[in-house]
Amino acid sequence: QLHSMQLAGILANKVFVMQADEKLARSRAVDSGVYQDLSTEQFDGLYTDYTRNLSQIVPLFPKQIVRCVDANREDGDIWTDVQAFCRQPPTSKAPRRPMRVAVIGPTGAGKATQCVRFAHRFNVVHISTGDILRDNVKAGTELGKKAKGFMDSGALVPSDLIVDLVKDRLTKADVKKQGCLLDGFPRAPDQAQAMVDAGLKVQRMLLIEVPDETLVERGCGRRLDPETGDIYHMKFKPPPADIMDRLVHRSDDQEEAIRNRLKGYHSQIDGIVPYFKDALVKIDGTSKPDEVFKLVARASTRW
């Protein structure tokens, strides 16, 4: 949901995390009538989900806009805290000039994880061509119908379908004001050429690099739980034994498919990099996401 907000250009100025003890939260929820039909067990399940989601969502916001509020107190006291924080002027570490950064890298390099974090940390509009295309496929638009076959086979969508769309998105008011993060664009030399032709410069082009053998290992071990949509990895995030039988090893995660995709990726990237020599920073994508993000953030705030 946070990702969808971000893609729609909805970015929070302040984030309040209301912290109440579970017992108190339960009694409030029941008293308010919202959850009056829930059993204690159902409420506990909701509460556990909430806590788990929260621990993943909060770190995605810039630290300086998050305020934890002790919600075990009376309404009036809580409100005083909330108001005081709302009155503080917004602080942002983002550089003044609207940032325009592109992130490129092979499938499996962790691009999506880094981009979601980046857009929140620097309050920029996240433009993911993959997401735009998937939305169009889902909505059954003309573009979606044309793109679907290419996407299903793991091929690139022809550039003429995507270039104008990106150019148009970059002229919108939110991008002009807040800057943007291009995720998955440019993905082919003619897209890089189109950017140059249109005078679309980026301050940074971050290339997340991971050796092919590591990408093959990451990809081959991936398993999808078709019931929950959860993704596991046989080595790095082993699935529980009781769901093992239903896990799916997707065809595009088989070694041959991955190696083919990588071959295509390398030939495209070699043609893209020369266009962005001055802006290019290579990022080592082999360590943990937190470590990679430190490199990404450092490279993006110094130019």
Residues identified as active-site: 111, 187, 222, 250, 261
List 122, 185, 276, 293, residue binding ligand AMP (CB under 6 A): 185
Helical residues (DSSP H) of the chain, grouped into ranges: 2-7, 22-32, 40-57, 75-87, 111-122, 129-139, 142-152, 159-170, 173-178, 189-197, 212-220, 255-272, 289-301
Q: What single DSSP character describes residue 287?
A: S
Q: What single DSSP character describes residue 73?
A: S
- Contact between residue 46 and residue 38 where contact means Cβ atoms under 8 Å apart: yes
Q: How far is the CB of 99 from ligand AMP (least distance, A)?
A: 20
- Contact between residue 168 and residue 143 where contact means Cβ atoms under 8 Å apart: no
Query: Which is nearer to ligand AMP, 232 or 265 (by Cβ)?
Result: 265
Distance CA 303, CA 285 (A): 21
Query: Which is nearer to ligand AMP, 71 or 115 (by Cβ)?
Result: 115
Query: Which is nearer to ligand AMP, 65 or 116 (by Cβ)?
Result: 116
Q: How far is the CB of 186 from ligand AMP (least distance, A)?
A: 6
Q: What single DSSP character describes residue 237?
A: B
Asked if residue 184 binds ligand AMP (CB under 6 A), the reply is yes
Q: How far is the CB of 118 from ligand AMP (least distance, A)?
A: 15
Site for ligand AMP in 133-152 (CB under 6 A): 133, 150-151
List 78, 156, 200, 220, residue binding ligand AMP (CB under 6 A): 156
185-202 core/surface letters (b: 16 or more CB in 10 A; e: else) = bbbbbbbbbbbeeeebeb
**Three-state SS at 221:** coil
Asked if residue 114 binds ligand AMP (CB under 6 A), the reply is no
Taking contact as CB under 6 A, which single stretch among the options 64-72, 182-190, 210-218, 222-230 is the one that binds ligand AMP? Answer: 182-190
Q: How far is the CB of 148 from ligand AMP (least distance, A)?
A: 9
Asked if residue 206 binds ligand AMP (CB under 6 A), the reply is no
Asked if residue 157 binds ligand AMP (CB under 6 A), the reply is yes
Site for ligand AMP in 69-108 (CB under 6 A): 107
DSSP notation for 104-121: E--TTSSHHHHHHHHHHH
Asked if residue 126 binds ligand AMP (CB under 6 A), the reply is no
Question: Would you put residue 108 in left (φ > 0), alpha (ψ -120 to 50) or beta?
Answer: left
Structure tokens at 176: 């002009």
**Three-state SS at 284:** strand
By rule CB under 6 A, what count of residues binds ligand AMP? 16
Q: How far is the CB of 106 from ligand AMP (least distance, A)?
A: 10
Binding residues for ligand AMP, per CB under 6 A?
Answer: 107, 129-130, 133, 150-151, 154-157, 162, 184-185, 187-188, 191
